Structure 1
């Protein structure tokens, strides 16, 4: 899909910003470039759509040398998302989304249909299509920036620190949303970031660069388990030791299988009794089919004086679960970013099957640093 062959970039005969880079990116692969400032990651990405031309070597997209293609046509065939978003303030959201379609002289019907198709992908209603950028939040604007890159259905998308300017919670949410979108649409993504957690969470392959050269290009799991050298080890940081455990990779290996739950139709009085019985300060709220609906905790109960009120009336429904086969490193990221005490675990039908707590993660950290290499014990049920 995308291949770099001995690619070098020099500015005014000075020291090379990128040196003899060789890399092959397969169709549908999500690749993150990361490294210290000035390592050449952004220069590498911008050479793909010829915003910067290489000095030596060749870059092939679907086997074709990009230097033999018209740069304008090339850019229109490649999606591009930047941190600053770059929405046109005088255009509606619909006009922003189908901007490339306008340049390609699409009919109004085709643009209208495409805009409506895309807006649904990010869980936004069609009402937003007639709004203007200033009427949207930063997270919503960034979603539109992603949709604009998808509008012409390009097989390849370049993303230059697209979530860097967002607050941690919005950023975390968009990362999850975009990773899910990428799996559904099977696009090839070249993603530049300075955030190692983001790279490990999103990428199929992480490319670590230093002084214009690739130091290591591997899957997140392989980099965590077998860093190429001391520079990679230092760049990863000791706090990611837990993520490098070869024997513990998924949520299902450490989750507690009997989380404290309450039925959505029960009263707050029943919830209080259940908390006392289980000696916990929070309960997962489920329906008769054990489908996760939200949670209730002592803080919510303290704010509501009616003990005969139903759990459904007072529960907090804004809760973000993970799946049993979710990677543990993603769950650690979610807990730390959101300062959460736990994360519910659900199956594909959204039924509760367990819970991951900070305490269970602490056990893994302890075993990683101080353990004697014994096999991980089965978690004690809550």
Structure 2
């Protein structure tokens, strides 16, 4: 889908920003470019849509050399999201989302229909379409920036540190949301970041650059297990290498497949009895189709029991989850970073399939850190 052949960028004075880069990416891959400041990652990405012209070599999109295309037309065929978002303050959210569509001469009714379809993909309601950027939070504005890049249904989207300016909690949530969206829509993403945790969480393949040179290009798992050299090992960090246990990769392998759950129509007295019987202080709340809707704990019941009688009146809908197929190291990071006691595991349709607790992680941490030392003592 995207191919670099011996691509270089040399600036005046002979400074080489990118040197003889050759890469090949398939349709639907999520590719992260990462490396120290000045390594050439943003330059490489901007050569794809010719915001920066290559000095030599060729870049192909679906077999077509980008230098054979009109640069303006090329950019309209590629989505582009930047850290500064770039929403136009005088335009409504609907007009911002439909901007590229307007340039592509889509009729207004069709543009508006597309905006209504897209707004639902990022958890915002249609009433947001009539608002202006200043009425939205930073995370909401970034969602709109992503939607604008998706609006024309371009197969390739470039993203230059799009979540870098957000607070950690919003950033974590958006990363999860966008990864799921990318997998659902099958887009090819080229994503520039300076954050290794972000790259490990999002990427199908990571491209590590140093001084304009390719150092390693591989899956996150392979880079963690087999760093190409000392530079990559140091760049990744020892703590992340410890988590790269070779025989455990996804959350399904360590989750408890039988989480304790209850439906909203049950009485609070039944919830308390279930907690006593199973010796837990929290229940996951699901609907009749086993879709996760939230959680309820002892404190919530204690606060509501005199006034209300049903789980529906006391439960909390806001809950962190991970999707099946999520890498264990990402789940660990989420539990530790957010101080969570557990994380429910759901499928693509939000149906509850399991739960990871801190206790689930004990064996992994033990084996990763101590098993080799223990073996050497025997």
* Both proteins in one fold, TM over 0.5: yes
Q: 1:349 to 1:217 in 2, by over 3 A?
A: closer
Mean alpha-carbon deviation: is it higher for 48-57 or for 364-373?
364-373
- Aligned residue for 2:232? 232
Deviation of residue 278 (structure 1)?
3.3
- Aligned residue for 2:74? 74
Do 2:32 and 2:205's aligned partners in 1 also have CA atoms closer than 8 Å? Answer: yes
- Aligned residue for 2:211? 211
Do 2:21 and 2:213's aligned partners in 1 also have CA atoms closer than 8 Å? Answer: yes
Q: Does residue 175 of the first structure (1) align with residue 191 of the second (2)?
A: no
- Aligned residue for 1:164? 164
Question: What is the DSSP-based 3-state SS (H/G/I as helix, E as strand, rest coil) of the residue aligned with 1:189?
Answer: strand
CA distance in 2, matches of 1:39, 1:332: 30
Mean alpha-carbon deviation: is it higher for 326-335 or for 131-140?
326-335
Deviation of residue 142 (structure 1)?
0.9
Deviation of residue 205 (structure 1)?
0.8
After the TM superposition, which residues 228-377 of structure 1 pair with which residues of structure 2 at under 5 Å, given as runs?
A: 228-241=228-241, 243-287=243-287, 290-304=290-304, 306=306, 309-347=309-347, 350-372=350-372
CA distance in 2, matches of 1:86, 1:34: 23
Deviation of residue 55 (structure 1)?
1.9
CA distance in 1, matches of 2:124, 2:348: 23
Do 1:242 and 1:364's aligned partners in 2 also have CA atoms closer than 8 Å? Answer: no
Q: 1:241 to 1:274 in 2, by over 3 A?
A: farther
CA distance in 1, matches of 2:142, 2:297: 33
Q: 1:67 to 1:346 in 2, by over 3 A?
A: closer
TM-score, normalization by structure 2:
0.91
Q: Does residue 107 of the first structure (1) align with residue 127 of the second (2)?
A: no
Q: 1:308 to 1:124 in 2, by over 3 A?
A: closer
Q: 1:373 to 1:186 in 2, by over 3 A?
A: farther
Question: What is the DSSP-based 3-state SS (H/G/I as helix, E as strand, rest coil) of the residue aligned with 2:67?
Answer: helix
CA distance in 2, matches of 1:123, 1:287: 19
**Count of residues in Structure 1 that have an aligned counterpart in Structure 2:** 374
- Aligned residue for 2:19? 19
- Aligned residue for 1:119? 119
Deviation of residue 322 (structure 1)?
3.0
Question: What is the DSSP-based 3-state SS (H/G/I as helix, E as strand, rest coil) of the residue aligned with 1:275?
Answer: helix
Q: 1:132 to 1:263 in 2, by over 3 A?
A: closer
Deviation of residue 62 (structure 1)?
2.4
Deviation of residue 90 (structure 1)?
0.3
- Aligned residue for 2:155? 155
Do 1:269 and 1:308's aligned partners in 2 also have CA atoms closer than 8 Å? Answer: no
Q: 1:94 to 1:126 in 2, by over 3 A?
A: same
CA RMSD of aligned residues (A): 2.3
Q: Does residue 145 of the first structure (1) align with residue 118 of the second (2)?
A: no
- Aligned residue for 2:4? 4
Deviation of residue 16 (structure 1)?
1.1
Runs (4+) off by over 6 Å? none
Do 1:9 and 1:19's aligned partners in 2 also have CA atoms closer than 8 Å? Answer: yes
Consecutive unaligned residues of structure 2, counting only runs of 5 or more, are none
Q: Does residue 58 of the first structure (1) align with residue 58 of the second (2)?
A: yes
Q: 1:350 to 1:69 in 2, by over 3 A?
A: closer
Mean alpha-carbon deviation: is it higher for 172-181 or for 84-93?
172-181
CA distance in 2, matches of 1:71, 1:104: 14
Mean alpha-carbon deviation: is it higher for 132-141 or for 64-73?
64-73
Q: 1:118 to 1:289 in 2, by over 3 A?
A: closer
Q: Does residue 201 of the first structure (1) align with residue 209 of the second (2)?
A: no
Q: Does residue 40 of the first structure (1) align with residue 40 of the second (2)?
A: yes
Do 1:275 and 1:283's aligned partners in 2 also have CA atoms closer than 8 Å? Answer: yes
Deviation of residue 61 (structure 1)?
2.1
CA distance in 1, matches of 2:64, 2:288: 57
Question: What is the DSSP-based 3-state SS (H/G/I as helix, E as strand, rest coil) of the residue aligned with 2:16?
Answer: coil
Deviation of residue 307 (structure 1)?
7.7
Do 2:324 and 2:348's aligned partners in 1 also have CA atoms closer than 8 Å? Answer: no
Do 1:17 and 1:40's aligned partners in 2 also have CA atoms closer than 8 Å? Answer: yes
Deviation of residue 298 (structure 1)?
3.1
Q: 1:289 to 1:84 in 2, by over 3 A?
A: closer
Deviation of residue 206 (structure 1)?
0.6
Q: 1:232 to 1:112 in 2, by over 3 A?
A: same
Consecutive unaligned residues of structure 1, counting only runs of 5 or more, are 375-382
Do 2:268 and 2:305's aligned partners in 1 also have CA atoms closer than 8 Å? Answer: no
